[in-house]
Amino acid sequence: MDMMQVERMLKLFGWPLALMLAALLGMMVVSGAGVDLLALAAPKLRDMLSLLLLSLLGCSVFWLLLNTWRLYCWESGTWKGACLFCGGHMQTVDGLSVCLGCSARREGWN
């Protein structure tokens, strides 16, 4: 595995996995499985926090599955993107287009 693959994996799966871990740790704190910091909090507050953390967990799982599908399509060659080098999907950040597959950059292209 070369450094481009490691960078691609971190870029695709780093934030979704970090959000999943944060939501799971937050659920442990809210439910009282860890240190019970919210013992004196109102039950309604605990329910709202649990719902918020559950929705965060669901969104991060969806984001992880979407990025896994993108990686599969890119590696199998079925992804028809606009990158000149690999055919990957381009994302515009601050006027600079960056490929999500190979990190190639192009200026002034949207």
Instruction: Write the pLDDT tens digit of every residue in 37-83.
Output: 555 566 777 788 889 999 999 999 999 998 888 888 877 877 777 77
Instruction: Give the per-residue pLDDT at 49.
Output: 85
Instruction: Give the per-residue pLDDT at 88.
Output: 74
Residue 32 identity (one-letter amino acid): G
Instruction: Give the per-residue pLDDT at 11.
Output: 80
24-56 b/e (C-beta count within 10 Å ≥ 16 → b) = eebbeebeeeeeeeeeeeeeeeeeebeeebeeb
Angle at 33 between CA 29 and CA 36, to 5 degrees: 55
The pTM score is: 0.69
Average pLDDT, whole number, for the chain?
A: 79
Q: Give SS3 for 97.
A: strand
Alpha-carbon distance of 46 to 11, in angstroms, equals: 33
